[in-house]
Structure 1
Amino acid sequence: MFIDSHCHIDFPDLAAREDEVLANMARQQVTHALCVSVNIEQWPRVTAMAERHGNVFASLGVHPDYENVTEPDVAQLVEWSAHRRVVAIGETGLDYYRLTGDLEWQRKRFRNHIRAARECGKPLIVHTRSSAADTLAIMREERAHEAGGVMHCFTETLEVAQAAIDMGFMISFSGIVTFKSAQALREVVKAIPAESMLIETDSPYLAPVPYRGKTNEPAHVPHVAAELARVRGMTLEQVARVTTDNFFRLFHDAARLAGRPGVMA
């Protein structure tokens, strides 16, 4: 049993094949997926997907790459997060790779999301690219440890991973970990505690080997799990079990919706 902890199956490339994508998940024993919000304008697509499929969960948030979109304040994020299928706040964070100039608006947005997560009691999904120092600093300043969460599509150093883990965050690995060039990332995989690991696709992007360069989808997440198993000297079944348990332990509302009463928040 595998869980895709971060995907965008509401995006057009996958939404156009919705039934096929869900059927492919089932064939590959991917039992659940978290469909992640990137802006408020498209958030109704995310919740609608989760409403249609009992094994799909939703998040609420605005990605740091999105300018000139609805900018919710803390109160709005808290209010909207009460939707019954929303299990997390995000994705949120900082990205200094794609955008330049004065990015104080990104930092303010990130702070609002952390404050909302603390208030509503839902974990954070954090995106960081070329911004690890500021990301960690804001997480500390805003007491992100009170919400907990996940560093999604992780590509940073072991030191960054450990700092996040120390704040109660999990580390999620995508198809990037299967790339030939990702040896440094595989060293992170080897070093962190198993109870801090999650797997994801970030689909429709970053398809793992052997699908690299093609449209990604949740059915491909077992390939990420297989690479983690290889690197750590675990069986595929062990990685599937631990990452599934980690997912439901972190996303406690998902555990409730999935009927896993033994999982502790």
Structure 2
Amino acid sequence: MLIDAHIHLDQYLENEVPTLLEEAEHVIAVSMNIESCEKTLKLSKTFAKVKAAFGFHPEQALPSAMEEEALFDWIRQHAHDTVAIGEVGLPYYLKQEKAVDDRPYMELLERFILLAKELNKPIILHAVYEDAAIACDLLEKHHVKKAHFHWFKGDEEVIERMIQNGYFISVTPDCTYETEIQQVIKKYPIELMMVETDGPWPFEDPFDNKRTSPWMMNHSMEVIASIKGITTQEAARIITRNTTIFYNL
């Protein structure tokens, strides 16, 4: 079984969770906001396979100043219950829908980067295309090395920069049908790679009308192995080891 490096476990129905967890060695369960953090914490206390990450998803309206302070206070209070700060980042897809002022999102991301540094935790980033370069700027500014860019997409320049910095990426099941993701896999070292589902986000093609579950990562592993010219077993061994060490599982 594989480790799902990024899943929104709190968004599944409560009775679905035990079955999902049967399909994974561990899951890194990320959070969307303070309510999501609280649910994720409860799941991690209930199931040993669940490792919690606390953060604020950027593809939504910003929290009020009071909400932001409450979230940061809560994360600090529960620092011993989390393996990472996340999911945090920048609102790339929200900006495709409407005009968004980047600056407050960048300020919030920088604050989360400083929190990760303060608590000595990895950071899980939602930062794609040009936003990935901004995230790199902030990580480099504060000398934060342990960064995981989930479902990453970006150009060759930012890919090379991320590789040089030793940042990790994770691959979703869309690698089975998206040429763009296959090209990222080709360029990125497997030693800096994980797999994820981002569930319950749905996938297409072979996964049409199927509930997103950790078993889908087996198909991702086959694609990675084929592109890297190694066996599926060797790819699984390397990627599982990467994730175990990165998250100190």
Give the alignment's TM-score, normalised by structure 2: 0.88
| Cα displacement (A) at 1:142 | 2.8
Equivalenced residues, count: 242
SS at match of 1:150: strand
| Residues 212 and 72 of structure 1, relative CA distance in 2, 3 Å threshold | farther
Alignment of 1:116-195 (within 5 A): 116-130=115-129, 131-145=131-145, 148-179=146-177, 182-195=178-191
In structure 2, the residue matched to 1:251 is 247
2:57, 2:89 within 8 Å by CA — same for their partners in 1?
yes
1:201, 1:207 within 8 Å by CA — same for their partners in 2?
no
Question: Comparing both structures, which one devotes a greater share of its residues to helix?
Answer: 2
| Cα displacement (A) at 1:177 | 1.1
Alignment of 1:1-265 (within 5 A): 1-11=1-11, 13-23=12-22, 25=23, 30-69=24-63, 70-72=67-69, 76=73, 79-84=76-81, 86-99=82-95, 100-130=99-129, 131-145=131-145, 148-179=146-177, 182-207=178-203, 209-252=205-248, 255=249
SS at match of 1:62: coil
1:63, 1:93 within 8 Å by CA — same for their partners in 2?
yes
1:74, 1:115 within 8 Å by CA — same for their partners in 2?
no
| Cα displacement (A) at 1:98 | 1.2
| Residues 72 and 144 of structure 1, relative CA distance in 2, 3 Å threshold | farther
Give the alignment's TM-score, normalised by structure 1: 0.83
For the residues of structure 2 that align with 1:8 and 1:242, how far apart are their CA atoms? 24
SS at match of 1:19: helix
SS at match of 1:83: helix
RMSD of equivalent CA atoms: 2.1
Unmatched segments (≥5 aa) in structure 1: 256-265
* Greater mean deviation of Cα atoms: 39-48 or 155-164: 155-164
The one-letter amino acid paired with 1:203 is G
1:64, 1:95 within 8 Å by CA — same for their partners in 2?
yes
For the residues of structure 2 that align with 1:14 and 1:140, how far apart are their CA atoms? 39
Unmatched segments (≥5 aa) in structure 2: none
The one-letter amino acid paired with 1:120 is L
| Cα displacement (A) at 1:117 | 0.6
The one-letter amino acid paired with 1:196 is L
Q: Can you list the C-alpha shifts for 1:9-33, whole angstroms capped at 9, x where unaligned? A: 210x44341222223x1xxxx2111
| Cα displacement (A) at 1:73 | 7.6
Q: Can you list the C-alpha shifts for 1:165-217, whole angstroms capped at 9, x where unaligned? A: 322311111112112xx223212212222210100000111436521453312
Q: State, as a whole percentage, how many aligned pairs show the same letter.
A: 29
| Residues 113 and 238 of structure 1, relative CA distance in 2, 3 Å threshold | same
- After TM superposition, the runs of 4+ consecutive aligned structure 1 residues lying more than 4 A away are none
| Cα displacement (A) at 1:222 | 1.3
| Residues 81 and 159 of structure 1, relative CA distance in 2, 3 Å threshold | farther
